[in-house]
Structure 1
Amino acid sequence: MTEQPSPAGGRPTDQPPTDAPAPAADTGSGTATATGPTAARVDRPTADAWAALGGAPELLDRVGFHGPDDVLPSGLPVRRLARATVAACSLAAAELAAHRIGGPVPAVRVDQGAVGTSFVSERHLTVDGRTPVGFAPLSGFWRASDGWVRTHANYPHHRDRLLAVLGLPADAGPERLAETLSGLRAEDVQERAYAAGALAVAVAPVSDATHPLAESLPVPGTAAARPLGPAPVDRPAAGIRVLDLTRVIAGPVATRTLALLGADVLRIDSPRLPEAEDAHTDTGFGKRSTRLDLADPADRAAFDDLLATADVVVNAYRPGTLDAYGLAPEALFARRPDLVLAQICAWGWTGPWAGRRGFDSLVQAGVGIAAHEAGPDGRPGALPAQALDHGTGYLAAAGILRALTDQRTGRPGGRHLRYSFAGTASWLLHGIAPEPPAESSEQGTEPYDPAPYLTVTDSAYGKLRHALPPIGYDGAPTDWARPPGRWGTDRPVWL
């Protein structure tokens, strides 16, 4: 742990930056080997993510990697997914920075150690020395009569619904839950939970279904976006106003990243929906937080005032949840045809599960990741990080940054962007080549130690040990400008 942030997205001070790799041809093995003096590799997953975001392929020669290779070990190429999503986001930030400063796109230098640490940022967080609780006792894998089921009961209302639908008392513990589930079919538990608004998913074999990694839907009209003047290279999103309608990890990671890059991010929650303050502490860096009841006329007027001058809306609620409040995409673009709207969901945007509730852990179970990662005893396993959450968050931030640039340098008009855990999962399962044997980064193999990628910050919650941001390009910010404030206590106004 370091008291001061280290440079360039958490890069240790004894690790000099590498030169950007030279352009390289695809070798068909999942990476492309450079022929320039650095003998660098151009990462194929990064190229695929960048293409999905509509990025110019000639900018990929700006991207380089360094740092430890032994991060996020898994039977699936989680390290490659993680560094590709961060690299794409870093390149999108560098592209916007070039537009704001009127110069060339800065070189992107992604430290795999910073990436690995940030992808488990919630596990590194301590508050005055206290380590927050991760999954609640009733969240996890449980044997069913014909297989396994994964539950998610971290929030009190989800716990209460799960116990109620299973006919268990409100104070039932893990033993009672295990006993009950062992006598039920996994799919029956899944469907009963779904009908009751609880969260349980049967562990399924690896699915061959695919979903887009990123979508950009047409938006009518060509309304010009608000012009942006010059901005410092470490604040390419300065002046951008972001309405943050997100919870848990993926959406908050996206907006935390936009805040890092200078955006004015205001998270809005309902006063009737509780939040775990430790989760807010981890993802609230750089942002402000307020509570508004959209059914209350005064609160709705305050929200509409914010929306009138927002540049970006990020919505990570279940599809359709906010439509009744006039916040369906069509309604938003009718009011604001220049808006950038980014939506994140769990199960993809088409198919019978598109409208279901979901979390990273449940999607891992439902698409076959948990079965793929099962141990020798057959017990389902999990990825070494909430990689669908974090990876989707960085992809969403990257897409928003790209949209902000493209609005001002390419086609004017609004942007409707969509991402899903199912899309990120199918990319991990089917779209990224397995880790090549003994692959090494530009800097060579080195042991991973998270300490250089952590720092300590005072906050309203106390002294926080937290992960540094992984965004890495020449001149990138090394830490957030402000710690998280108390959840829901900021005024509903733009700075």
Structure 2
Amino acid sequence: MNSAQRSIYDSLTPDELDQRNQLEIAQTPPNIDSPLAVNDLAVGVFAAMGMTAASLATDRGLPPQQVRVDRWHAGNTLNSVAWHFQNGWQLDIHVVHSAINGFFQSRDGRHIIYNGAYPHLRQIILDFLGCPNHKERITEATASYDAFELEESLSKLGACIAVVRSAEEWASHEQGRHLASVPAVEIVKLADSEPRPFSTTPTRPLSGLRALDLSKVLAGPTLGRQLAEHGAQVIHLRHPYQDLIYPFDIETSYGKINSYLDFTRPRGRERLLELAREADVFAQGYRFGAMEKNGFGPHDLARENPHLVYVQLNAYGFGGPWAHRHGFEQLAQSVTGAAAINGGSLSNPKLVPAYMNDYLTGFLGALGAMIALRRRAREGGAWLVNVSLARTCQLALDLPLRDPGEALRPTQHEDLGPWLIDQDSSLGVLTRLKSPIEYSETPCFADIAATAPGTHPPEWREVTQPKPPHRPTQMLDSLELLGNMALH
């Protein structure tokens, strides 16, 4: 590992790992065009998760193995939703490029960013500004407000807005200081209980373990998908009438039972409690405090299940004045200083062209769950894992900037052939990027291909697939592309 990768890896591996497992990093050229060392950040995260999963596997009696991460492939993983195909057709994610989503200049010359990916969030902003979802009208309306006044007013209404800040401004902000005081993967013991040893007849690192995923795009469902691809039984639960962004929901559904459930109704509440009592991991990405109000907060469920690992994800962390604010990838990049660094200045913000915080926060949540499961096996207890988009972004800012003399290898779909896999599904042949973590003995795979929301009843099912059902892509020459789907 290079020094940047090593610093991330060391910060994310607090517990002893089995040194019989071997780590290999393929130091291929980076592909993410940014001054930030995004490829190296991704390598460090994936290496930490891979070696933790391999150690969990040997804890359970599986053989030591080699873990391999490719630097170029690691960067492409941060745009994996852009490299997802249904019967050869690239899934269209242009819905996230709505007129409201982007940077606008305020009256005082600062830049703000809105995100209205979901209709109700978009409407809050448009109603406040008094204009339609039209770029020129939004520009005019925004220019009549001072930036921080607008941020505060719209945030109180529940909108997704952020003033673009420098890294120095964020470091001195109360929320930035709070996040700097906690680790990127915060793991806290919730309650004492007897150790819960792993079963000793697994075929994969998480064989026999059960996880509930109550989250929306993109970080939370990525967490659930990673648990599934390491062998866990995962049920994804969503409200049947909740807004969705179809390509993102499909891309993160691999390996999961995909179910509807409304826990605000008596029947749904009862069913969720039943599932939580039987689960090993409960992951949720609701606004901070929402689950507590409904009786499904960390301490609530630790009383119901004293062996539970509870993972929660949000935009700005779980303390400080912004803990309750909504946020997405683009806002995390903007408030922390990443967008200003990527664009060269505060006056020219530009997003890093990758969903780096979304995907990496999902992987960090899965990593935290694995660390907590190992601790549960040794010392018992219920555990809480906290991860957030902005804290993940601060990891990137902690690294030295990328060497500008190192040549980039931009991603062309023709170059992805060795990294693309096909899998048959009820939606046809789905083509996707394979896992960025390669294991010699327990390869990642999804025994269930991607499915539409609500496909299955909310019931556990055994994962019995003995080997990966996917195959190297046969469709590279016939893929139909709409264009650049990377974040921009």
Q: Is the structural similarity TM-score above 0.5?
A: yes
Of 72, 79, 84 in structure 2, the residue corresponding to residue 113 of structure 1 is 72
Q: Deviation at 1:133?
A: 2.1
CA offsets, 1:273-325, max 9 Å, x none?
22112111111111111111112111222212211211110111121111121
Counterpart amino acid of 1:111?
Answer: D
Note if 1:155 corresponds to 2:118: yes
Counterpart amino acid of 2:400?
Answer: A
Partner of residue 432, structure 2: 466
Partner Cα separation in structure 2 for residue 344 and residue 369 of structure 1: 20
CA 1:364/1:259 → structure 2, altered by over 3 Å: closer, same or farther?
same
CA 1:347/1:376 → structure 2, altered by over 3 Å: closer, same or farther?
closer
Counterpart amino acid of 1:417?
Answer: V
Partner of residue 12, structure 1: none
Partner Cα separation in structure 1 for residue 332 and residue 346 of structure 2: 22
Note if 1:306 corresponds to 2:269: no
CA 1:460/1:186 → structure 2, altered by over 3 Å: closer, same or farther?
farther
Partner Cα separation in structure 2 for residue 245 and residue 377 of structure 1: 36
Please, which runs of 5 or more residues in structure 1 have no aligned partner? 1-20, 22-28, 32-41
Q: How does 1:53-202 map to 2 (within 5 A)?
A: 54-56=14-16, 59=19, 62-66=22-26, 68-103=28-63, 105-128=64-87, 129-134=89-94, 135-137=96-98, 138-146=100-108, 147-169=110-132, 172-202=133-163
Q: Assess if the C-alpha contact under 8 Å between 2:291 and 2:297 holds in 1.
A: yes
Counterpart amino acid of 1:95?
Answer: S
Partner of residue 453, structure 2: 487
Of 315, 323, 327 in structure 2, the residue corresponding to residue 358 of structure 1 is 327
Counterpart amino acid of 1:66?
Answer: A
Partner Cα separation in structure 1 for residue 410 and residue 273 of structure 2: 51
Counterpart amino acid of 1:225?
Answer: R
Q: Deviation at 1:447?
A: 8.1
Partner Cα separation in structure 1 for residue 368 and residue 56 of structure 2: 11
Note if 1:224 corresponds to 2:192: no
Counterpart amino acid of 2:134?
Answer: G
Partner Cα separation in structure 1 for residue 207 and residue 365 of structure 2: 18
Q: How does 1:305-384 map to 2 (within 5 A)?
A: 305-375=274-344, 378-384=347-353
CA offsets, 1:44-101, max 9 Å, x none?
3212222xxx222674983220152222232111111111111111111111111223
Counterpart amino acid of 1:150?
Answer: I
Q: Assess if the C-alpha contact under 8 Å between 2:113 and 2:164 holds in 1.
A: yes
CA 1:136/1:461 → structure 2, altered by over 3 Å: closer, same or farther?
farther
Note if 1:434 corresponds to 2:401: yes
How many correspondences in the alignment?
Answer: 444
Counterpart amino acid of 1:287?
Answer: K
Q: Deviation at 1:102?
A: 4.7
Partner Cα separation in structure 2 for residue 115 and residue 179 of structure 1: 40
Counterpart amino acid of 1:212?
Answer: P
Q: Assess if the C-alpha contact under 8 Å between 1:114 and 1:469 holds in 2.
A: no
Partner Cα separation in structure 2 for residue 220 and residue 250 of structure 1: 26
Partner Cα separation in structure 2 for residue 220 and residue 480 of structure 1: 32
Counterpart amino acid of 1:30?
Answer: S
CA 1:427/1:265 → structure 2, altered by over 3 Å: closer, same or farther?
same
Identity of matched residues, %: 29
Q: How does 1:285-296 map to 2 (within 5 A)?
A: 285-296=254-265
Partner of residue 47, structure 1: 10
Q: Assess if the C-alpha contact under 8 Å between 2:212 and 2:283 holds in 1.
A: yes
Under a length normalisation based on structure 1, what TM-score does the superposition of the two structures give? 0.84
Q: Deviation at 1:30?
A: 2.8
Counterpart amino acid of 1:412?
Answer: G
Q: Assess if the C-alpha contact under 8 Å between 1:223 and 1:414 holds in 2.
A: no
CA 1:228/1:80 → structure 2, altered by over 3 Å: closer, same or farther?
same
CA 1:130/1:64 → structure 2, altered by over 3 Å: closer, same or farther?
closer
Partner Cα separation in structure 2 for residue 60 and residue 81 of structure 1: 24
Partner Cα separation in structure 1 for residue 245 and residue 25 of structure 2: 35
Q: Assess if the C-alpha contact under 8 Å between 1:126 and 1:132 holds in 2.
A: no
CA 1:369/1:475 → structure 2, altered by over 3 Å: closer, same or farther?
same
Partner Cα separation in structure 2 for residue 102 and residue 468 of structure 1: 23
Counterpart amino acid of 1:45?
Answer: I
CA 1:143/1:127 → structure 2, altered by over 3 Å: closer, same or farther?
farther
Partner Cα separation in structure 1 for residue 105 and residue 150 of structure 2: 11
CA offsets, 1:460-482, max 9 Å, x none?
33433321111222223253222
- Identify which range, 150-159 or 378-387, moves more after superposition: 378-387
Query: What RMSD in Å do the two structures reach over aligned CA positions?
Result: 2.4
Q: Assess if the C-alpha contact under 8 Å between 2:21 and 2:51 holds in 1.
A: no
Q: How does 1:397-412 map to 2 (within 5 A)?
A: 397-408=366-377, 410-412=378-380
Under a length normalisation based on structure 2, what TM-score does the superposition of the two structures give? 0.85
CA 1:179/1:463 → structure 2, altered by over 3 Å: closer, same or farther?
farther
Partner Cα separation in structure 1 for residue 45 and residue 198 of structure 2: 28
Counterpart amino acid of 2:211?
Answer: V
CA offsets, 1:191-212, max 9 Å, x none?
2221222211111111223242
Q: Assess if the C-alpha contact under 8 Å between 1:49 and 1:88 holds in 2.
A: yes
Counterpart amino acid of 2:93?
Answer: V
Counterpart amino acid of 1:394?
Answer: F
Counterpart amino acid of 1:471?
Answer: I
Partner Cα separation in structure 2 for residue 377 and residue 92 of structure 1: 38
Partner of residue 16, structure 1: none
Of 210, 226, 240 in structure 2, the residue corresponding to residue 241 of structure 1 is 210
Q: Deviation at 1:491?
A: 0.3
Greater relative contact order structure (CA < 8 Å, 6+ sep): 1
